[in-house]
A and B are shown apart, each in its own frame.
Chain A
């Protein structure tokens, strides 16, 4: 079976593209996902990944690269959510629910004008075996931008995620960091759309990161672990998808879920098997 997969890799360009895209998407979703869960923005991640749909549709209609349209709508959604939260009595989860479902619906209607229902199916559920070389190149460029951003602004991301008030007090522009992160999240959501589809992007963002979170007490280690788990899930998912003709997105997401369950049962930090160490009040 593995022989069959490796043989396929040697012979088919589409499988090579799929493998490289899976690896790259696994890495970037793991990296960005770490910050998403630490900032308590899982729902926001879900919202942005749904909200890019109309952008993809309008890009098809206008004949431009879909990254452009998707980025416009992704950031548009982030800004709308921020605006509604600030200007009304609503809490942010409510604002997120309203904005992303509206964007998503707009996307479904726009796609019915743009393309056939097969395309909608691929956008919603992903099809990693149909990734074109040009899409793969864009995914690699996105990965480089995301990793550069995280390396260059690691300090600022760390301090603003952990203690936004202290960071803002000393003059850090936490608003700019938030929206930059949203822009990158949009890019990642569009890349991940090819492998797992719009609906399941959130799983690739938060499941590997949550798994890594259970395994370490250090942010830098968490990011690396999360990227590794994301990559492993993508590759194993691709393997099963190719071998048994299962839907690629669902297979990748379920693989990530298996990793999470293992960590949840066996992690020393938050395990349900081993008891947590008591508080250290006595040691004062």
Chain B
């Protein structure tokens, strides 16, 4: 379980997130939703200390998050990645073995073997030797998921993984995430498309610079909370699965 207490993040004096208190269950897939600029990615980065925070703390299983960093697999938004970087698909996945290897140890045959297994799980083994710039958005996302799998981390953080990907990739990824959930992993996903919320997530965090709601879909993904986060205009739009009480 991840616990965030009183997290406040400000950029140049403007508060991007104020006093966030929340808990994230293990063995569940939790979505972070909210309008543009609500601080969704900032929450993901702020809770593990990737952006400087003004105050607040995060714990995982009652330990400081800073002490369990090797247990975090993070998949950044795809558009933040340099697609012309001289690196092949298999070598991207191999990066996922680095945290456990530590300093000065090189990946060997065992790690290479894991790369192949991991690529098979996302059905990308035929693309192992390709340069990453040759892949489609969905294929690339599957490669990053393969890298997260190989990290064998208990905390999996994904920033907008479903944006601009094909249906097959979406299915492969969601099936794998459900499998990871069964293994008791803590999975947190930044997401902006409200229509798929009930398909993907068990719990949601609804955000608009402050915390609107946090908890299981039934009690949290309500018309009232969506209105609070997105403003009145969203109230009349019928969103699949929203609990209108």
Q: Which residues of A does B touch, CB under 8 Å?
A: 38, 40, 89, 152-153, 155-156, 158-159, 161-163, 165-166, 168-172, 213, 216-219, 221-222, 277, 279-281, 284
Q: List 26 A-B contacts (CB under 8 A).
A: A38-B85, A89-B12, A152-B104, A156-B98, A158-B95, A162-B85, A162-B87, A163-B95, A165-B80, A169-B72, A169-B74, A170-B69, A170-B73, A170-B153, A171-B69, A213-B86, A217-B86, A217-B87, A219-B85, A219-B86, A279-B134, A279-B136, A280-B130, A280-B136, A284-B136, A284-B169
The answer to whether A217 touches B138 (Cβ under 8 A) is no
User: CB < 8 Å: which of A156, A168, A171, A213 contacts B70?
Assistant: A171
11 more contacts with CB within 8 A, not counting A217-B88, A217-B131, are A159-B95, A159-B98, A162-B81, A166-B73, A170-B69, A170-B70, A217-B86, A219-B86, A280-B130, A280-B134, A284-B136
Q: How far is the CB of B186 from chain A (nearest CB, A)?
A: 14
Q: 4 closest Cβ contacts across the A-B interface?
A: A171-B69, A169-B74, A170-B99, A165-B76
In the complex, whether B48 has a CB less than 8 A from a CB of chain A is: yes
CA–CA, A170 and B75, complex, Å: 11
**Measured between alpha carbons, how far is A219 from B95 in the docked complex, in Å?**
13
Instruction: Annotate B149-187 by CB proximity to A: 1 below 8 A, 0 otherwise.
Output: 001010001000000001011000000000000000000
Known contacts A159-B95, A166-B95, A284 near B86 by CB under 8 Å: no
Give the distance in Å from the alpha carbon of A170 to the alpha carbon of B168 in the complex.
Answer: 29
Q: Given the interface contacts A165-B50, A169-B74, does A218 sit within 8 Å of B95 by beta carbon? A: no
Q: Which residues of A contact B166 (CB under 8 A)?
A: 284
Residues of A within 8 A of B75 (CB): 166
Contact of B76 among A38, A163, A222, A277 (CB under 8 A): A163
Residues of A contacting B70 in the complex (Cβ-Cβ under 8 angstroms): 170-171
Query: Beyond A152-B104, A165-B80, A169-B72, is A216–B95 a contact (Cβ under 8 Å)?
Result: no
Supposing A155-B98, A170-B69 touch, asked if A218 and B76 sit within 8 A by C-beta, the answer is no
Chain B positions within 8 Å of A155 at CB level: 98, 101, 106-107
Query: What size tier do the contact residues of chain B reach?
Result: 35 or more
B interface majority secondary structure: mixed
**Cα of A171 to Cα of B99 in the assembled complex, Å:** 8
Q: Does residue B234 face the partner (Cβ distance < 8 Å to A)?
A: no
Bound CA–CA A218/B88 (angstroms): 7
A170 touches B85 (CB 8 A): no
Residue B62 lies at the interface, judged by CB distance under 8 Å to chain A? no
List of A residues within 8 angstroms of B95 by Cβ: 158-159, 162-163, 166
Q: What are the residues of chain B within 8 A of A162 when measuring CB–CB? A: 81-82, 85, 87, 92, 95
Inter-chain contacts of A158 with B (CB < 8 A): 87, 95
Q: For residue B87, which residues in chain A have a CB less than 8 angstroms away from its CB?
A: 158, 162, 217-219
Per DSSP, chain A at the interface is helix
CB distance from B175 to the nearest CB of A (A): 16
- Say how far B165's CB is from chain A's closest CB, in angstroms: 10
B152 to chain A, nearest CB (A): 12
* Residues of B with C-beta under 8 A to A89: 12
Among the interface residues A166, A218, A280, A284, which one has the most CB atoms of the partner chain B within 10 A? A166
Question: Which residues of chain B (100-127) have a CB below 8 Å from chain A?
Answer: 101, 103-104, 106-107
In chain A, what residue has the closest Cβ to B48? A169
Residues of B contacting A172 in the complex (Cβ-Cβ under 8 angstroms): 99
For the complex formed, measure the closest distance between the CB of B64 and the CB atoms of chain A, giving whole angstroms: 12
Query: CA–CA, A217 to B169, complex, Å?
Result: 25
CB distance from A283 to the nearest CB of B (A): 9
CB distance from A226 to the nearest CB of B (A): 11
Complex Cα–Cα for A165 and B82 (A)? 13
Alpha-carbon distance A229/B127, docked complex (angstroms): 31
Known A-B contacts A217-B86, A219-B87, A284-B166; A166 and B76 likewise in contact (beta carbons under 8 Å): yes
CB-CB nearest in chain A for B76: A165
Most buried by B among A153, A159, A213: A159
A237, B70: Cα distance in complex, Å: 48
Minimum CB–CB distance for A275 against chain B, Å: 14
Q: Does B139 contact A (CB under 8 A)?
A: yes
Could you say which residues of chain B place their CB within 8 Å of the CB of A170?
69-70, 72-74, 98-99, 151, 153
Shortest CB–CB separation between residue B243 and chain A, in angstroms? 33
